[in-house]
Chains A and B, each alone.
Chain A
């Protein structure tokens, strides 16, 4: 279990796929004891074991449910406890676990927990001070409450697609399901808000989190702009509405690019000086307004200069010269990025069904200390005995009966 300020806080994590597991992982990285309650199937959305491309070495192996990359990345520092919540005995055990916990997080469709008989009222009866977070795609109320939702289906519904693109009026989506990433971080923030209130008032909480809503605030300024200036023309999202130059420029290589963003006259002068191109002396580029008016020519001039240069070296030299710039990195380049390595951001964790792998760590350091006591993602049901025997006080014989009855398991039952 990770060390951190949330030591002593126990979280029951019922979530699947990306957003929910990320939210619970943030709490785990901060030191919470996170018990991942899993269904005994280990397939599909639960452990993603239907997507071959993410298995270690592309090979599902004998236990594919333990070899899926995204699952293992998103569930470090957690314990796995398998409970078949369709069985009455599992309900009793689940409520006993809730009674000894502080937080429950789930990202099922709205109403699923009520249908299971495990909605907020049932949980609060077991533990009046429980903080219960439900995070369906569109929240628990409103006309879209029952909509089926995944990050990629939520994103077009947020308005971002019309702001993202090349300025040609064709909407674009990120195709990397970013609403999941924002829902995860918002989930952690919502839980922390409720835990603080509980600490002060003793009041538990039932939190309704909409993944749809969680995605919108980062482009709030753009939404306000469209209210004040309804006819605002589309622009390339690589350009800034005020500053120039601000774009992604081609570098030497097949698919190699650099981001450059000069936001002040000083940064612009530093870019011009470093490039040795006397751009600052060109009246078309002399002021911010002139650069915006001649942005096509400006971008063409800069790209003519960057096109033959190696992106990582150029990015580094521009930064040293005081220009915000950075190479556009792909996965292997990210994994070898010097700043991240110097700070020990990637954490190698050894999984019994995979091999030692470097996983992205946490951006949070407290008092300058990096990860302490981190554990790799659990195998399916790895902590059944620890939870049933240690926490819930069952005997070995009772635990064996639970396995026999299919209430718990340590491998999929189908």
Chain B
């Protein structure tokens, strides 16, 4: 077991889960070595099927009927036996159960992940990952122009909200340990705000220059070629920002370097259809892996094969890095993603006394 999986040893988390967001946060805690106990609550948005299998791995579970008399007292009492309470119940339920008042014992943070936050006019409105993606400005940017925009498969909203919640919860836990102040604080994460905070330049394009980003299918806004195109056995991806254009063109079409249609970034955007046709012709007879190996290995340009789900599960890089965790599901071996970072072993100096760590002024 690598030390990433024991980093949070001794930390106890109570996951009160009605949707996937708390489940993703709990997943991160388990993967870093915390002890997570889940109370699963039926709800229209409750994770199910294979997502649930992924989220539940390695967690303990308790059955508590939230409708039973004294459920709030029991949950608050249980929370006091944990360092963190992480929940994604809706705000009314949180208040009904008095979870925002949970305190005492070892509890240091009440982490409340809700669709819209604990305040505001939409506080009690229903939401799903698809509606949060729509409202946060993401959906508008995905898909083909002229066709319906696309939402994302899986649960991007839950994952990102869970990540924010995880970091903020640990920040509060760390603060408590460093300060010696043993009170529980409330950490609130709004899923809508989580997604609205994660655009690269959607809002600043508008506030800085009045430009409204629109969806462009498999093309990037303002730079080309950043796209995927068909090759002999599938599709091939490329991200040819200006820095890499010369190497890319020397590799696949040296004549493009003297073609005025492709001279500047703005020219390549203007003549994107023509450039795509030339690239398609250049890669049509080559396999995507051969293109990837040549493009990355020899030409040093940011390209890659468009992997199918089966191919990503068998990807040699991820296998070598030990990214997958194998477990039995429904009588067959299945692999799940593990935590996407790890502590590099064998290079760290000996621990110094924690109390000896110098504090910045």
Contacts and interface: CB of A to CB of B under 8 A. Distances in A.
A280 interface: no
Contacts of A101: 360
A278 B181 CA distance: 58
Nearest to B170: A192
A204 B352 CA distance: 8
B334 to A, nearest CB: 5
B197 A53 contact: no
Given A204-B348, A227-B313, A325 B200 contact: no
Interface in A354-373: 354, 357-368
Contacts, number: 549
Contact of A238 (B8, B51, B122, B151): B151
Interface string A292-307: 0000000000000000
Given A159-B307, A227-B335, A153 B197 contact: no
12 contacts: A27-B167, A73-B201, A102-B360, A148-B302, A157-B315, A208-B344, A218-B24, A221-B52, A228-B334, A259-B130, A331-B205, A334-B137
Contacts of B239: 150-153
A157 B116 CA distance: 33
Q: Determine which residue in B128, B226, B358 has the highest number of CB atoms from chain A within 10 A of its CB, and name it.
A: B128
A141 to B, nearest CB: 6
Interface in A318-343: 319-320, 322-335, 337-340, 342-343
Given A163-B154, A173-B218, A332-B212, 6 more contacts: A54-B201, A129-B352, A165-B150, A189-B166, A238-B151, A360-B199
Nearest to A303: B148
B209 A56 contact: yes
5 smallest CB-CB distances across A and B, nearest first, come from A221-B51, A69-B204, A219-B154, A156-B237, A159-B312
Contact of B348 (A206, A337, A362): A206
B161 to A, nearest CB: 7
A92 to B, nearest CB: 19
Nearest to A221: B51
Nearest to B241: A150
**Interface SS of A by simple majority:** mixed
A143 B293 CA distance: 10
Interface stretch (A83-91, A263-271, A378-386, A400-408): A263-271
A258 to B, nearest CB: 7
Contact of A340 (B193, B209, B309, B334): B193
Contacts of B332: 227-228
Contact of B44 (A148, A264, A315, A328): A264
Interface stretch (B58-66, B171-179, B275-283): B171-179
A171 interface: yes
Interface string B336-361: 11001111100111111110111111
Interface string B292-312: 000010001111111111111
Nearest to B198: A181
A101 B138 CA distance: 36
Nearest to A325: B131
Given A259-B131, A354-B208, A223 B313 contact: yes
B99 to A, nearest CB: 14
Contact of A200 (B142, B188, B336, B354): B354
Nearest to B334: A227
Interface in A213-239: 213-214, 216-228, 230, 236-238
B244 interface: yes
A199 B341 contact: no
Nearest to A204: B348
Contacts of A389: none
A36 to B, nearest CB: 16
Interface in B309-332: 309-313, 315-318, 320-321, 323, 329-330, 332
A117 interface: no
A401 to B, nearest CB: 25
A5 B138 CA distance: 30
A291 interface: no
B136 A329 contact: yes
A220 B129 CA distance: 15
Given A148-B244, A148-B301, A174 B142 contact: yes
Contacts of A57: 208-209
Given A166-B147, A230-B310, A141 B178 contact: no
Interface string B114-134: 001111111001111111111
A152 B237 contact: yes
Nearest to B288: A156
B284 interface: no
Contacts of B361: 391
A9 B170 CA distance: 13
Nearest to A209: B341
Contacts of B315: 157
B201 A323 contact: no
A18 interface: yes
Nearest to B360: A10
B175 A224 contact: no
Contacts of A50: 242
Nearest to A139: B321
B70 interface: no
Contact of B312 (A139, A158, A166, A214): A158
A243 to B, nearest CB: 9
B254 interface: no
